[in-house]
Amino acid sequence: MRILLVGKGGREHALAWKMSQSELLSALYLWPGNVAMQGLGEYLDLPATADFTELVAAAKRLQIDLVVSGPEAPLSQGLADAFAAAGIPTFGPRQAAAQLEASKAFAKRIMTKAGIPTAAHVLVKGESECREEALAMLQATGGVVLKASGLAAGKGVFVCSTATEVENGIQRLFHSDMSAASDTVVLEEVLLGRECSYFSFIGSHGPLGLGFAVDYKRLEDGDVGPNTGGMGCYAPVPWLPKEAATLVNERVIAPLLQALKAEGIYYCGCLYVGLMWSETKGPQVVEFNVRLGDPEAQVLALYDERDWLALMAASCGLNVPEAALAAACRPPSSDRYSVAVVMAASSYPYGSDAGQAAVLPPQMFSNDVQTNIMTFGANVSRGERDGFATGSGRVLAVSARGSSFAAARVAAYNRVHEIAGLWRSARWRSDIGSRVVKETKELER
Ligand code: AMP
Ligand code: GLY
């Protein structure tokens, strides 16, 4: 199978690494890719600024069988529609379905219509209506969540329990670079429970569940500080009930697909269900995303040994040999645990300043298939002596697997400390996976 992978972050590095292990792969093209993916595929000879027409022409020339989109932005701009018009399938939904992520207002409407458990909400427009309604909800319930309806890279959400927090959120929503995403703001009740995400490949084959992961959204240890795109992650999620995947399929995914279908919308791609898991109420949906998570993809790629390319191709209706699909559909081994720690520039999540950049040696970025530890690169560029220069934002995700969470965690942090010895201004959380390590030890006792 000839694949074109769209995207340039750590998630796409993980996808490229994973797909490179598939027996179904005959050629992998990366657009635009990043330097850490070297050796996994061929960089497409097209600038990162190319438009869909140029991209489709290149894909036709290269006889691409399947396009895989890592990020949501091109999907919400119609990438899959452009390829469909040229007869090339995309793993990633068309524009109409990508609204599930691009418009929180749309997602809330569909959830309400489908009876999917989620936080009660109101939609508001403009700063003064937002302030008035948010303060009223705060007073009535003791908490309120403010969300930009549009795409804001995970940074447009403010969970508030005081009037000062509401005001700070409003200032960021209406007076910063995310004001375009805040044309409509969703105000929600605060959900209680434990957060996790479920990933499923959806399409003509029916849902193919990848599993659950836990992401750490807040910037600092102890879950404080602003929301980020994700500072670390672990998988699987041992504290969920055994029937968790069945509950999500029954209460969320099946009614969602039915409600979309009733509006003439078909879904093909990875569905990311962000959940608050309540002991009494079970799964409640916080958000939908139309892609894999970042850094969840980096953790799942190590944890899950199955052939994702077989699953993606089957979801898109491509011909996958029966034996390959049957093997890919088996549940993942139950004796593997993964932990990923994100390393970011010191200015993250506010600035685009790379801080004191470092050049890391290329051997830290080995794309070895047999390895139990991977340094997935996002904002890295070519540095001196074939090294990798660190950039801004989230730069790396160090992902390790082991036969226990404790082993995976030690391996990941050993590598993080090795990198931090060279990149002194890096920022990371030191508590990724610590609670789940303690919990699993308690269970063993
Ligand atoms: P979102 O982008 O909608 O996933 O929100 C980012 C983060 O804010 C989530 O991962 C949660 O940690 C938190 N959050 C969002 N909505 C709620 C809610 N209704 N109740 C509690 N926390 C929330
Ligand atoms: N890690 C959260 C996300 O990818 O949206």
**Contact 381/31 with Cβ under 8 angstroms?**
no
With the most atoms of ligand 2 within 8 angstroms of its CB, the residue from 69, 72, 270, 296 to mutate is 296
* CATH C-level class of 2-93: alpha beta
**Contact 124/168 with Cβ under 8 angstroms?**
no
323-382 residue pLDDT tens: 999 999 888 788 899 999 999 999 998 878 888 889 999 888 888 888 899 999 999 999
Q: What is the 3-state secondary structure (H, E, C) of 111-158?
A: HHHHCCCECCEEEEECHHHHHHHHHHHHHHHCCEEEEECCCCCCCCEE
What sign does the dihedral 210-212-214-217 (CA atoms) show?
positive
Question: What integer pLDDT is reported at residue 154 of this predicted model?
Answer: 67
Residue 61: burial class (beta carbons within 10 Å; 0-12, 13-18, 19+): exposed
Q: Which ligand is nearest to the CA of 14?
A: 2
**What is the signed CA dihedral for 410, 227, 290, 212, rounded to 10 degrees?**
40
Rounded distance from Cα 19 to ligand 1 centre (Å): 31
Average pLDDT over every residue of 182-202: 95
What whole-number percentage of the chain has pLDDT above 70? 100
297-310 residue pLDDT tens: 999 999 899 999 99
Number of Cβ atoms within 10 Å of the Cβ of 67: 27
Kindly give the number of the ligand 2 atom that is closest to the alpha carbon of 233: 1
235-291 residue pLDDT tens: 999 999 999 999 999 999 999 999 999 999 999 999 999 999 999 999 999 999 999
Residues 287, 104: Cα–Cα separation, whole Å: 8
b/e code 79-114 from CB counts within 10 Å (16+ = b): bbbbbbeeebbbbbbbbbbbbbbbbbbbbbbbbeeb
Average pLDDT, rounded, for the chain: 94
What whole-number percentage of the chain has pLDDT above 90? 85
Question: What integer pLDDT is reported at residue 332 of this predicted model?
Answer: 79
* 357 bridge partner residues: none
**Contact 389/422 with Cβ under 8 angstroms?**
no
What is the DSSP-derived secondary structure letter of residue 236? S
| Residue 346 CB-half CA count within 13 A | 9
Token couple for 431: 């508590």
Token couple for 306: 């199955």
State yes or no: pLDDT of 77 exceeds 70: yes
Output the DSSP codes for 387-403: -EEE-SSEEEEEEEEES
Residue minimizing CA distance to atom 3 of ligand 2: 293
Token couple for 86: 């040229």
Number of Cβ atoms within 10 Å of the Cβ of 16: 27
Residue minimizing CA distance to atom 19 of ligand 1: 190
Kindly give the number of the ligand 2 atom that is closest to the alpha carbon of 296: 1
* 97 bridge partner residues: none
Average pLDDT over every residue of 16-27: 97
Question: What integer pLDDT is reported at residue 356 of this predicted model?
Answer: 87
Give the CATH H-level superfamily of domain 194-444: ATP-grasp fold, B domain (3.30.470.20)
111 CB within 6 A, ligand 1:
no
Token couple for 439: 């919990």
State yes or no: pLDDT of 445 exceeds 80: no
Residues 303, 339: Cα–Cα separation, whole Å: 9
169 CB within 6 A, ligand 2:
no
State yes or no: pLDDT of 111 exceeds 80: yes
E strand or H helix that includes residue 232: strand 232-235
Token couple for 385: 């002596």
Question: What integer pLDDT is reported at residue 207 of this predicted model?
Answer: 85
Is the CATH number 3.30.930.10 carried by domain 121-188? no
Residue minimizing CA distance to atom 4 of ligand 2: 293
156 CB within 6 A, ligand 2:
no
Question: What integer pLDDT is reported at residue 178 of this predicted model?
Answer: 83
332 CB within 6 A, ligand 2:
no
Average pLDDT over every residue of 132-150: 94
At residue 227 the predicted structure's pLDDT band, cuts being 50, 70 and 90, is confident
**Contact 247/160 with Cβ under 8 angstroms?**
no
420 CB within 6 A, ligand 1:
no
Question: What integer pLDDT is reported at residue 369 of this predicted model?
Answer: 83
At residue 351, the 3 state secondary structure works out as coil
State yes or no: pLDDT of 397 exceeds 80: yes
User: Taking the mean position of all CA atoms in its chain, how far away is CA 323?
Assistant: 29
Identify the CA nearest to 305 among candidates 265, 284, 336, 347.
Answer: 336
Q: Where along the chain do its domains lie?
A: 2-93, 121-188, 194-444
Identify the CA nearest to 376 among candidates 36, 6, 1.
Answer: 36
Question: What integer pLDDT is reported at residue 279 of this predicted model?
Answer: 93
Residue minimizing CA distance to atom 5 of ligand 2: 293
Residues 286, 200: Cα–Cα separation, whole Å: 16
State yes or no: pLDDT of 62 exceeds 70: yes
**Contact 259/114 with Cβ under 8 angstroms?**
yes
State yes or no: pLDDT of 155 exceeds 80: no
Q: Which residues make Cβ contacts (< 8 Å) with residue 254, sequence separation at least 6?
A: none
User: For tokens 């569905």, what's the residue?
Assistant: 271
Residues 236, 302: Cα–Cα separation, whole Å: 11
Rounded distance from Cα 180 to ligand 1 centre (Å): 20
195 CB within 6 A, ligand 1:
yes
State yes or no: pLDDT of 404 exceeds 70: yes
Q: Which residues make Cβ contacts (< 8 Å) with residue 313, sequence separation at least 6?
A: 1, 24, 65, 66, 91, 319, 320
Question: What integer pLDDT is reported at residue 206 of this predicted model?
Answer: 79
With the most atoms of ligand 1 within 8 angstroms of its CB, the residue from 121, 159, 187, 194 to mutate is 159
Rounded distance from Cα 289 to ligand 2 centre (Å): 8
Residue 381: burial class (beta carbons within 10 Å; 0-12, 13-18, 19+): middle
Cα angle, residue 137 at apex, residues 133 and 138 outer, rounded to 5°: 115
